[in-house]
């Protein structure tokens, strides 16, 4: 592991806004102590809790928290070095409505109690074209989200991937989930929503390559059981830049 990553991990271990629980804690020590207690023990208010799953550098988590002081935002990612950027900004600004949780999304119901979360944002995830069970908008994950969301809680997907957008749209349609907003080209749609205009590192990457951004938001009722769509979807033909490519003109700035 590089020295820079080690430095970030060491610094983040001191951040009050970053919570990290080894798997052994979940298995052998009664689970995450915050489960069911985020309002009382962390945020100290009853404001709605919003998750950003696969938060990466935390741009959406921090950006939303800056715009909505009456809501609480938690960025979730397994990659600690990625979330350092957002966590550092939240820490230095003393933002009281932001937290970052380092864990696998597959374990999300170990960290939140039923009805503890109001909304879920999924921003530019891997489309997982080969494995539906790993798709963050797949029915497997939707059943996990149901466990922690309030009744008819909101799910938002923002993506560059035609494959993932088509799949998610089909899943939502097949299961008759109430759609709030849907567009295959967000910035040409005429939607003037400053929430949607928060741009992540990966989003700027796609925009610079001329790729349209897609967005769908929908309600997730508690029942009935969800059904997987059985459709053929053309796979995406492009790839992201290599890890060594540096392109982020819209890095988080202090406000």
Active site residues: 126
Sheet (strand 98-102) strand order: 18-20, 98-102, 72-77, 49-53, 117-123, 149-159, 214-220, 179-183
Residue 83: both structure tokens together: 């979330």
**What are the DSSP E strand ranges found in the chain?**
18-20, 49-53, 72-77, 98-102, 117-123, 149-159, 179-183, 214-220
Backbone angles phi, psi at 94, to 5 degrees: 65, 40
Handedness of CA 29, 35, 40, 43 (dihedral sign): positive
Answer for the pair 49, 113: CB distance below 8 angstroms, yes or no: no
Task: Report the distance separating Cα 44 and Cα 75, nearest Å.
Answer: 18
- In the beta sheet, which residues pair with residue 155? 120, 218
How far is the first Cα of the chain from the last one, in angstroms, to the nearest whole number? 32
124: left (phi over 0), alpha (psi -120 to 50) or beta: left
d(CA 93, CA 83): 16
């Amino acid at each position: 592991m590089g020295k820079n990553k080690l430095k970030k991990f060491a610094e983040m271990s001191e951040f009050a806004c970053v919570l990290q629980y080894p798997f052994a804690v979940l298995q052998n020590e009664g689970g995450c102590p915050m489960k069911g207690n985020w309002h009382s023990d962390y945020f100290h208010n009853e404001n709605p809790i919003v998750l950003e799953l696969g938060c990466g550098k935390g741009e959406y988590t921090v950006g939303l928290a800056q715009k909505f002081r009456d809501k609480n935002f938690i960025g979730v990612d397994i990659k600690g070095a990625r979330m350092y950027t957002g966590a550092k900004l939240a820490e230095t600004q003393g933002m009281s409505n932001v937290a970052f949780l380092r864990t696998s999304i597959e374990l999300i119901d170990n960290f939140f109690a039923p009805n503890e979360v109001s909304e879920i944002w999924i921003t530019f995830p891997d489309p997982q074209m080969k494995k539906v069970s790993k798709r963050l908008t797949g029915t497997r994950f939707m059943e996990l989200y149901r466990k922690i969301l309030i009744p008819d809680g909101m799910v938002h997907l923002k993506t560059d991937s035609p494959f993932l957008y088509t799949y998610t749209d089909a899943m939502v349609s097949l299961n008759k989930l109430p759609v709030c907003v849907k567009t295959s080209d967000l910035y040409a749609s005429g939607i003037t929503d400053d929430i949607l205009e928060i741009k992540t590192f990966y989003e700027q990457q796609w925009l610079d390559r001329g790729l349209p951004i897609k967005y769908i938001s929908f309600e997730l009722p508690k029942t009935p059981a969800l059904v997987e769509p059985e459709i053929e979807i053309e796979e995406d033909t492009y790839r992201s830049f290599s890890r060594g490519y540096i392109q982020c003109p819209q890095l988080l700035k202090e406000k």
